[in-house]
DNA sequence: AATGAATGAGAATTCATTCAT
DNA sequence: CATGAATGAATTCTCATTCAT
């Protein structure tokens, strides 16, 4: 799978739990998918539960068999999809030896999650900021784990002497997240052309790496031919 | 560092409501301030008009003497405060000769607007993404003007040979805005300590400049001696 | 006079809400009936939606499952009840050969619709004149069809040589409607005794016929023996 | 003043109380006039007090210096204008010897009040039926006096042997009022052409007289050359 | 498990009325 | 007398949630 398309792919591990429960997981998944679409179009507050139900092809009441309430549908989206992002990201990072590759992996993975799921991009960037109680109780911990993961990339890079020691790994992680989020938002609100997002991703990775690497070794900083692992 | 406070200062210039009514500006301003506080705490949708009224010390109905409806209170916050940011930023940029100074000015001005107004930081970063109709009709044009302004900094830096020619000014502007917005959000949600925000700002400016400047001249890229490592 | 009751009877034919929902028609009908009662007592504007809901024994929100809004409840009253009047009237008129019988049928049918429904009399006569937008969009077309129908009675009577040729059928129709509406209103505001309304109806029919018939044939104009002097 | 225009003229006795009170009466009159215009356009409930104030060229609060509240503005319109109608009508009726002339005077006076004051026509016919509490407390007594006056015309006609003895004067009065009101309403909602209203008035007078007069004396019922007194 | 009709709490907004100036 | 900014009670309508079927 050497193709550019696959570079970003995170994708679901497949929600069809082919175990005992016949189609419950299916229905839950269908509702979740519908909710992502609806939340993306209208935002959490403007989205009506009946909108989600209609989009999922179920009755209003059915949603309450799978989710405590409307807010928890959003919570589950975060848990599910962002949890998945974290798992994938962690797995990828440990497999990569250099800080350059890891930073690139962060960029590629986060934007890749969104590229083929524009709706999810909007839900995550837009709705993550809606309900503060929600944000603090559910999204914030996930978000912290994400920041920890990315900050560790920079911190370990510093220990290896590759990243400037005067850079705060935490600030770098927060700024990188913000930059990625901002690119995703402006991309989602604009054309939504995948090629453009990939180009922006490369530019951002370049910018961050040049900005973060130790100036010393005077070697070719970037070798794009090695990318795409 | 006796001027640190003023480095960031943007602050009100008088929110002229453009009509002669004597104490109207006062009321309008009071409502606006209250709304910023309430929107920051609860978010746009969860904030009730009566919350704003109580916080402003006026009757519910009074709000409708100054604003068409709840949504337009948010609109005015953007117009007022972001319009001010744009004006200040533009004025500062033209006065600065080098791209380094200009990039720093962007960082310092944007975060400075928020530094002593944590609530505004939250309203702007959190609520800017709430109502899409709103976002598109009112905030988007302002946002575009902002991006144009920042992209021009990078573009002019390229013409002067100071910024890498393979960097997209537009992508850089989008990423920089995202990074600033992300720093502001995480700062507002965390401690809200002004000193910390300023330190983060320096780090970000450093990161972006190192990442964006042409590698060629092999000179000390930055005068880092002036700021906290 | 054992048939006096039936002379006036128009009565429901089943208010088919035109969709298959089982007990919907019931609810819708209950709400409509309650609305007639409430509108009659308080007038359209003074009537609160919650009054109608309470009178119908449903929750406020239920009303909005069957009607777009409060105004459309009134609209449906007109459409339903007046549409029914028009249908009945048209059917009766074609079955009657002489102009005398037809004029009497107009009087009897219109007042008969109201006789056992004092509330409806008040709603129709009082509220028909409330909301001009409403009046013009929904009631006016129905009203025009009514006037056409009645004017045709006089016009055909003229062609048959029974009605004075110098009488404007249109003016006669307008005046007759006004007289009927006026009798209904004063009756509803006063005692509401059906017998009295029927007596007034006879008097009016007599008055109009004597006034409208051609003087020529010098024959016993009316068979007054059948009704109370 | 033999001209057709004057036939109908009722007109104000002039409200400018040129006594001590300098311009108060003026202002009250201005408000009343403005209210007639506004109530006619929007109906009582949809008309805002501030609309009336603007139309009258005074401040909202000023209205409350002259009227207890919004409802009493409408009350005063009835009292003032309808009181005037009653006075004029009574004065005219006593001066006329025959029942024919009197019935014509009723028609001409009532429609004449409206002809040159189309707004008042709408206020009286439309708004008289709005607020039931109002209607019953203020308009109803005036209305009763009106009916008494008209019924007396028919009753006296009966005593003189000119009107059919089997006609109920009260029913005739109610029907005549309704017919006049109906003509006024349909006229006001339609073109509002004074000539047309006058023609309709003649038709109605004709209809009622032919319908009400005793058939006996076999004399020329109508002599239009004598009209116009 | 699934449905969707019914519920009713809740919120935005309007506007008659007041009253300090 | 006159003003008009301010008030806040009142009302419509929405929509998350429930629960009988």
Does residue C187 surpass a pLDDT of 80? yes
Q: Domains (ranges, CATH) in chain A?
A: 13-67 (1.10.10.60), 72-215 (1.10.357.10)
pLDDT tens for C7-23 read 443 333 333 333 334 34
Reported as a pLDDT band with limits 50, 70 and 90, residue D185 is confident
Please tell me whether residue B163 adopts helix, strand or coil conformation: strand
Chain C residue whose CA is closest to D144:
C186
Mean pLDDT of chain B: 82
What contacts C99, CB < 8 A, 6 or more positions away?
C153, C154, C156, C157, C160, C162, C163, C213
Kindly report the nearest CA distance between residue C131 and chain D, in angstroms. Answer: 7
For residue B179, the model assigns a pLDDT of: 96
Residue D215 to residue D79: CA distance in whole angstroms:
39
Does residue D123 surpass a pLDDT of 60? yes
For residue C12, the model assigns a pLDDT of: 33
User: How is C84-146 classified by DSSP, letter by letter?
Assistant: HHHHHHHHHHHT--SHHHHHHHHHHHHHHHHHT-HHHHHIIIIITTS-HHHIIIIIHHHHHHH
Chain A residue whose CA is closest to B207:
A211
- Mean pLDDT, residues C183-205: 88
Which single residue has its CA nearest the C1' atom of nucleotide F10? C48
Residue D114 to residue D192: CA distance in whole angstroms:
10
Interface touch A129/B132, C-beta < 8 Å: no
Residue C49 to residue D92: CA distance in whole angstroms:
47
Cα atoms found within 13 Å of the Cα of residue D34, Cβ hemisphere only: 22
For residue C21, the model assigns a pLDDT of: 41
- Write a three-state SS string for C180-212: HHHHHHHHHHCCCCHHHHHHHHHHHHHHHHHHH
C 64-83: CB within 7 Å of strand F: 64, 69-71
- Higher pLDDT residue, C218 or C162? C162
Interface touch A45/B45, C-beta < 8 Å: yes
- Higher pLDDT residue, D147 or B190? D147
Interface touch B129/A185, C-beta < 8 Å: yes
Does residue A188 surpass a pLDDT of 50? yes
Weakest mean pLDDT among A168-172, B34-38, C79-83, D53-57: C79-83
Please tell me whether residue D163 adopts helix, strand or coil conformation: strand
Mean pLDDT of chain D: 82
Does residue C59 surpass a pLDDT of 90? yes
For residue A135, the model assigns a pLDDT of: 63
Please tell me whether residue B184 adopts helix, strand or coil conformation: helix
pLDDT tens for A86-138 read 899 999 999 999 999 999 999 999 888 776 677 877 787 776 666 556 666 77
Name every chain D residue with its beta carbon within 8 A of the beta carbon of C42: 132
Q: Do chains D and B touch (3 or more CB pairs under 8 A)?
A: no
Name every chain B residue with its beta carbon within 8 A of the beta carbon of A215: 210, 221
- Mean pLDDT, residues B46-75: 96
- Mean pLDDT, residues C156-170: 95
Kindly report the nearest CA distance between residue A39 and chain B, in angstroms. Answer: 11
| Strand F reaches within 7 A of the D27 CB | yes
What contacts C155, CB < 8 A, 6 or more positions away?
C169
- The burial class, CB within 10 Å (0-12 / 13-18 / 19+), for B58 is middle
| Strand F reaches within 7 A of the B48 CB | no
| b/e code B70-101 from CB counts within 10 Å (16+ = b) | bebbbbbbbebbbebbbebbeebbeeeeebbe
What contacts A50, CB < 8 A, 6 or more positions away?
A60
For residue C229, the model assigns a pLDDT of: 39
| Strand F reaches within 7 A of the B23 CB | yes
Count other Cβ atoms within 10 Å, centred on residue A42.
15
Does residue B228 surpass a pLDDT of 90? no
For residue B223, the model assigns a pLDDT of: 52
For residue B70, the model assigns a pLDDT of: 95
* Tokens found for residue A13: 């591990």
- The burial class, CB within 10 Å (0-12 / 13-18 / 19+), for B110 is buried
Instruction: Please report which residue ranges of chain A form alpha helices under DSSP H.
Output: 4-7, 24-46, 49-56, 60-66, 70-77, 83-94, 99-115, 118-122, 132-134, 140-159, 169-189, 194-212
Does residue A211 surpass a pLDDT of 80? yes
**Is residue D197 within 8 Å of residue D115, measured between CB atoms?**
yes
Does residue D61 surpass a pLDDT of 70? yes
Does residue A67 surpass a pLDDT of 90? yes
Nearest to C178 among D147, D181, D212 (CB): D181
For residue B17, the model assigns a pLDDT of: 38
Cα–Cα distances in angstroms (integers) from residue B112 to residues A76, B154, B178, C146, in the given order: 36, 21, 16, 73
For residue B11, the model assigns a pLDDT of: 34
Chain D residue whose CA is closest to C41:
D132
pLDDT tens for B87-101 read 999 999 999 999 999
Residue C199 to residue C182: CA distance in whole angstroms:
15
For residue A66, the model assigns a pLDDT of: 97
% chain C with pLDDT above 70: 78
% chain A with pLDDT above 90: 51
For residue B19, the model assigns a pLDDT of: 39
Chain D residue whose CA is closest to C124:
D129
Q: How far is CA D2 from the centre of its chain?
A: 22
Reported as a pLDDT band with limits 50, 70 and 90, residue C217 is low
Q: Whole-model pTM?
A: 0.81
Q: How far does the CA of C31 sit from the C1' of F14, in Å?
A: 19
List chain E nucleotides near protein: any atom < 7 Å from a Cβ: 1-20
Nearest nucleotide from residue C64 CA, by C1' atom: F13
For residue A131, the model assigns a pLDDT of: 56
Q: Rank A92-101, A132-141, B118-127, B179-188 by mean pLDDT and report only the highest.
A: A92-101
**Is residue A52 within 8 Å of residue A40, measured between CB atoms?**
no
For residue C5, the model assigns a pLDDT of: 37
Nearest to C130 among D130, D166, D215 (CB): D130
Interface touch D189/C43, C-beta < 8 Å: no
**Is residue B222 within 8 Å of residue B100, measured between CB atoms?**
yes
Residue B52 to residue B55: CA distance in whole angstroms:
5
For residue B4, the model assigns a pLDDT of: 38
For residue B229, the model assigns a pLDDT of: 39
What contacts C214, CB < 8 A, 6 or more positions away?
C161, C162, C163, C164, C165
Please tell me whether residue B22 adopts helix, strand or coil conformation: coil
Weakest mean pLDDT among A125-129, B59-63, D20-24: D20-24
For residue A190, the model assigns a pLDDT of: 77
Facing residues of A213 across strands?
A: A163
Mean pLDDT of chain C: 82
% chain A with pLDDT above 70: 78
Reported as a pLDDT band with limits 50, 70 and 90, residue D189 is confident
Cα–Cα distances in angstroms (integers) from residue A41 to residues A114, A119, C146, in the given order: 15, 8, 48
Does residue D98 surpass a pLDDT of 90? yes
Q: What is the dihedral of CA D8, D13, D15, D20, to 10 degrees?
A: 170
* Tokens found for residue B125: 């970063």
Instruction: Please report which residue ranges of B19-131 form alpha helices under DSSP H.
Output: 24-46, 49-56, 60-66, 70-77, 83-94, 99-115, 118-122
Does residue D206 surpass a pLDDT of 50? yes
pLDDT tens for A162-175 read 999 999 999 999 99
- Mean pLDDT, residues C69-81: 90
Please count the residue pairs, one from chain A and one from chain B, whose beta carbons lie less than 8 angstroms apart: 139
For residue B24, the model assigns a pLDDT of: 65
* Tokens found for residue D117: 């004051």
Q: Rank B182-191, C123-132, D151-160 by mean pLDDT and report only the highest.
A: D151-160
Please tell me whether residue B67 adopts helix, strand or coil conformation: coil
For residue A125, the model assigns a pLDDT of: 72
- Higher pLDDT residue, D39 or B123? D39
């Amino acid at each position: 799978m050497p193709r550019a398309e696959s570079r970003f792919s995170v994708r679901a591990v497949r929600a069809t739990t082919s175990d005992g429960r016949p189609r419950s997981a299916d229905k839950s998944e269908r509702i979740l998918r519908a909710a992502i679409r609806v939340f993306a179009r209208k935002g959490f507050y403007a989205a009506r539960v009946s909108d989600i139900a209609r989009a999922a092809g179920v009755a209003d009441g059915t949603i309450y068999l799978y989710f405590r309430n409307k807010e928890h549908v959003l919570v589950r989206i975060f848990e599910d999809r962002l949890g998945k992002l974290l798992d994938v990201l962690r797995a990828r990072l440990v497999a990569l030896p250099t800080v350059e590759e890891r930073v690139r992996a962060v960029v590629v993975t986060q934007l890749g999650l969104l590229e083929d799921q524009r709706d999810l991009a909007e839900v995550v960037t837009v709705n993550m900021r809606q309900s503060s109680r929600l944000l603090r109780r559910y999204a914030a911990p996930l978000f912290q784990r994400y920041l920890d993961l990315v900050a560790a990339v920079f911190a370990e890079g510093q220990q290896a002497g590759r990243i400037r020691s005067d850079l705060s790994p935490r600030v770098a992680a927060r700024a990188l997240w913000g930059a990625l989020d901002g690119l995703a938002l402006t991309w989602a609100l604009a054309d939504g052309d995948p090629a453009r997002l990939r180009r922006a991703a490369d530019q951002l990775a370049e910018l961050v790496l040049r900005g973060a690497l130790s100036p010393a070794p005077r070697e070719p900083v970037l070798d794009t031919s090695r990318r795409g692992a």
